[in-house]
Chains A and B, each alone.
Chain A
Amino acid sequence: MTYTSAINKALAGIRDQSVVAHREVEAVLPAIARHGDEVALQWLAACTALFSFERDAGKAFIRGSLEAEKVSEEVLPWTGQAMAFMQWRASWRALEGFMANVARAYGSLGHAGEQRWAEIGFGWCARQIESGAAYFSTPVLDLAGRHGGIAAIEQIAAPADELYESRKLMLATYLPGAIRVRNLLGAQAILPWASRGADILQSGRARGEAYFRLESEESLSLLLEHLPGYRLTDRNRLLGMLLDVWFGGEFDLRESTWSPEKGRPFIETDGRSIYFPAVMADREEAILALLHTAGHLRGRTFDRGAMQQMFAEAKIDFPKTGVVSWAPLFLRFGEDALRFQLLFDICEDLRVDFGVQRSVPNYLRRLQRAARGIGVRHPETAAYYDLALESIEAAIAYLGGAAADPRFAGLLQPGATVADAFRAAIRLHAGSTLPPVTELEAFLAAYLPGRSPNAARMAHPQESDDQSQQTQAGSEQQSEQQDEGGQETEAPQNAESGDQRDDGEKKEMPSYGDSSGQSARASSESDKQGPNQGSSDKGIPYPEWDYRESRYKRNWSWVQEKRLAESNMGETNRLMKQYELALKRLKKAIQAQKPTRMAPLTQQLDGDDMDLNAVVAFVAEKRAGQSPRPAIYKRREIRQREVAVTLLADMSTSIMQHLPEGGGRLVDRIRAGVLLFAESMEEVGDAYSIAGFCSKYRDNVSYYTLKGFDESLTDEVRAQIGGMSGRLATRMGAAIRHATARFDGVESRRRLLLLLSDGRPEDYDDGGDRRYLHEDTRMAVKEAVAKGVHPFCVTVDTMANQYLPQIFGPGHYLVLDHINSLPNKLPEIYLRLRR
Chain B
Amino acid sequence: MKTAASRARGVEHDIVQAPQVGEVAPYYEPQGNEVAIFEAAYKRRLPVMLKGPTGCGKTRFLEFMAFQLKRPLVTVSCHEDLTSSDLVGRFLLEGSETVWHDGPLTRAVKAGAVCYLDEIVEARTDSTVVIHSLTDHRRKLAIEKKGVEIDAHEDFMLVISYNPGYQTVLKDLKPSTKQRFIAINFDFPSEEVERKILVKEVPGTRPEIAQQLVAIGRKARLLKDHGLEESTSTRALVYAASMIAAGLDPVTACQVAMVNPITDDTELADALMEIVNAHFA
Residues of A that sit less than 8 Å from B by CB: 235, 237-238, 240-242, 244-246, 248, 287, 360-363, 365-366, 477, 479-480, 606-608, 610, 622, 630, 632, 635, 747
- Contact among B90, B267, B281 for A238, CB-based, below 8 A: B267
Considering the complex of A and B, which 8 residue pairs feature the smallest CB-CB distances, nearest first?
A: A362-B281, A241-B271, A630-B93, A238-B267, A241-B226, A245-B219, A245-B222, A361-B279
- Contact among B93, B96, B268, B278 for A366, CB-based, below 8 A: B278
- Contact among B93, B267, B278 for A241, CB-based, below 8 A: B267
Report chain B residues within 8 Å CB of A607. Answer: 85
Question: Is B31 interfacial (CB-CB < 8 Å)?
Answer: no
Contact B90 A240 (CB under 8 A): no
Nearest residue, chain A, Cβ from B219 = A245
Contact A480 B170 (CB under 8 A): no
With known contacts A244-B222, A608-B85, A632-B93, A238–B271 Cβ distance under 8 A: yes
Question: Is B225 interfacial (CB-CB < 8 Å)?
Answer: yes
**Complex Cα spacing A747 to B171, Å:** 12
Report chain A residues within 8 Å CB of B274. Answer: 242, 245, 287
Contact residues, B179-223 vs A (CB, 8 A): 215, 219-220, 222-223
**Complex Cα spacing A366 to B275, Å:** 13
Question: Is B91 interfacial (CB-CB < 8 Å)?
Answer: yes
Contact B270 A238 (CB under 8 A): yes
| Chain B nearest CB, measured from A202 CB (Å) | 38
Residues of B that sit less than 8 Å from A by CB: 83-85, 90-93, 96, 169-170, 215, 219-220, 222-223, 225-227, 267-268, 270-271, 274-275, 278-279, 281
Besides A245-B220, A361-B215, A362-B281, 10 more A-B contacts (Cβ < 8 Å) are A241-B223, A241-B226, A241-B268, A242-B271, A244-B223, A245-B274, A362-B279, A363-B278, A477-B225, A622-B96
Contact A235 B267 (CB under 8 A): yes
**27 sample A-B contacts, Cβ–Cβ < 8 Å, listed by A number:** A238-B270, A240-B226, A241-B226, A241-B268, A241-B271, A244-B222, A244-B223, A244-B225, A244-B226, A245-B223, A245-B275, A248-B222, A361-B278, A361-B281, A362-B278, A362-B281, A363-B278, A477-B225, A480-B225, A480-B226, A606-B85, A606-B90, A608-B90, A622-B96, A632-B93, A635-B83, A747-B170
With known contacts A245-B271, A246-B219, A237–B91 Cβ distance under 8 A: no
Interface of A, helix, strand, loop or mixed by DSSP: helix
With known contacts A241-B226, A242-B274, A610–B281 Cβ distance under 8 A: no
**Complex Cα spacing A606 to B83, Å:** 11
**Complex Cα spacing A362 to B220, Å:** 17
Contact A237 B267 (CB under 8 A): yes
Report chain A residues within 8 Å CB of B84. Answer: 608
**Complex Cα spacing A632 to B93, Å:** 9
Contact B267 A366 (CB under 8 A): no
| Chain B nearest CB, measured from A6 CB (Å) | 81
Contact A608 B83 (CB under 8 A): yes
**Complex Cα spacing A715 to B21, Å:** 75
| Chain B nearest CB, measured from A479 CB (Å) | 8
Report chain A residues within 8 Å CB of B279. Answer: 361-362
| Chain A nearest CB, measured from B176 CB (Å) | 21
Nearest residue, chain B, Cβ from A638 = B124
| Chain A nearest CB, measured from B224 CB (Å) | 10
| Chain A nearest CB, measured from B153 CB (Å) | 26
Q: Which of B220, B222, B226 has the most CB of A within 10 A?
A: B226
**Complex Cα spacing A366 to B280, Å:** 11
| Chain A nearest CB, measured from B252 CB (Å) | 18
Report chain B residues within 8 Å CB of A240. Answer: 226
| Chain A nearest CB, measured from B121 CB (Å) | 16
| Chain A nearest CB, measured from B211 CB (Å) | 11
**Complex Cα spacing A362 to B84, Å:** 55
**Complex Cα spacing A480 to B92, Å:** 53
**Complex Cα spacing A516 to B160, Å:** 68
Report chain A residues within 8 Å CB of B85. Answer: 606-608
Report chain A residues within 8 Å CB of B215. Answer: 361
Nearest residue, chain A, Cβ from B269 = A238
Nearest residue, chain B, Cβ from A619 = B96
**Complex Cα spacing A246 to B271, Å:** 11
Report chain A residues within 8 Å CB of B271. Answer: 238, 241-242, 245
Q: Which of A245, A363, A622, A632 has the most CB of B within 10 A?
A: A245
| Chain A nearest CB, measured from B250 CB (Å) | 13
**Complex Cα spacing A667 to B226, Å:** 45
Nearest residue, chain B, Cβ from A479 = B225
**Complex Cα spacing A235 to B270, Å:** 10
Nearest residue, chain A, Cβ from B281 = A362
| Chain B nearest CB, measured from A627 CB (Å) | 11
Q: Which of A242, A361, A630 has the most CB of B within 10 A?
A: A361
**Complex Cα spacing A610 to B219, Å:** 55
| Chain A nearest CB, measured from B105 CB (Å) | 15
Nearest residue, chain A, Cβ from B271 = A241
Contact B226 A366 (CB under 8 A): no
Report chain B residues within 8 Å CB of A248. Answer: 222
Contact B226 A237 (CB under 8 A): yes
Nearest residue, chain A, Cβ from B223 = A241
| Chain B nearest CB, measured from A129 CB (Å) | 53
Nearest residue, chain A, Cβ from B96 = A622
| Chain B nearest CB, measured from A446 CB (Å) | 26
Contact A365 B267 (CB under 8 A): no
Report chain B residues within 8 Å CB of A622. Answer: 96
**Complex Cα spacing A362 to B281, Å:** 6
**Complex Cα spacing A701 to B259, Å:** 40
Report chain A residues within 8 Å CB of B278. Answer: 360-363, 366
**Complex Cα spacing A246 to B225, Å:** 15
Report chain B residues within 8 Å CB of A238. Answer: 267, 270-271
| Chain A nearest CB, measured from B262 CB (Å) | 14
**Complex Cα spacing A248 to B215, Å:** 15
Report chain A residues within 8 Å CB of B223. Answer: 241, 244-245
With known contacts A245-B275, A248-B222, A610-B91, A365–B281 Cβ distance under 8 A: yes
Q: Which of A237, A363, A477, A635 has the most CB of B within 10 A?
A: A237
**Complex Cα spacing A41 to B199, Å:** 101
**Complex Cα spacing A477 to B224, Å:** 11
Nearest residue, chain A, Cβ from B170 = A747
| Chain B nearest CB, measured from A680 CB (Å) | 28
| Chain A nearest CB, measured from B261 CB (Å) | 18
| Chain B nearest CB, measured from A648 CB (Å) | 26
Report chain B residues within 8 Å CB of A747. Answer: 169-170
**Complex Cα spacing A130 to B280, Å:** 63
**Complex Cα spacing A632 to B274, Å:** 58
**Complex Cα spacing A362 to B270, Å:** 18
Q: Which of B85, B90, B96, B271 has the most CB of A within 10 A?
A: B271
Report chain B residues within 8 Å CB of A360. Answer: 278
| Chain B nearest CB, measured from A750 CB (Å) | 15
**Complex Cα spacing A608 to B90, Å:** 8
| Chain A nearest CB, measured from B170 CB (Å) | 7
Nearest residue, chain B, Cβ from A248 = B222
| Chain B nearest CB, measured from A773 CB (Å) | 30
Report chain B residues within 8 Å CB of A365. Answer: 281
| Chain B nearest CB, measured from A541 CB (Å) | 18
**Complex Cα spacing A361 to B169, Å:** 37
Nearest residue, chain A, Cβ from B222 = A245
**Complex Cα spacing A589 to B93, Å:** 44
| Chain A nearest CB, measured from B273 CB (Å) | 11
Nearest residue, chain B, Cβ from A235 = B267
Report chain A residues within 8 Å CB of B275. Answer: 245
Report chain B residues within 8 Å CB of A608. Answer: 83-85, 90
Report chain B residues within 8 Å CB of A237. Answer: 226, 267
Nearest residue, chain B, Cβ from A606 = B90
**Complex Cα spacing A246 to B274, Å:** 10
| Chain A nearest CB, measured from B248 CB (Å) | 20
| Chain B nearest CB, measured from A68 CB (Å) | 59
Report chain A residues within 8 Å CB of B226. Answer: 237, 240-241, 244, 480
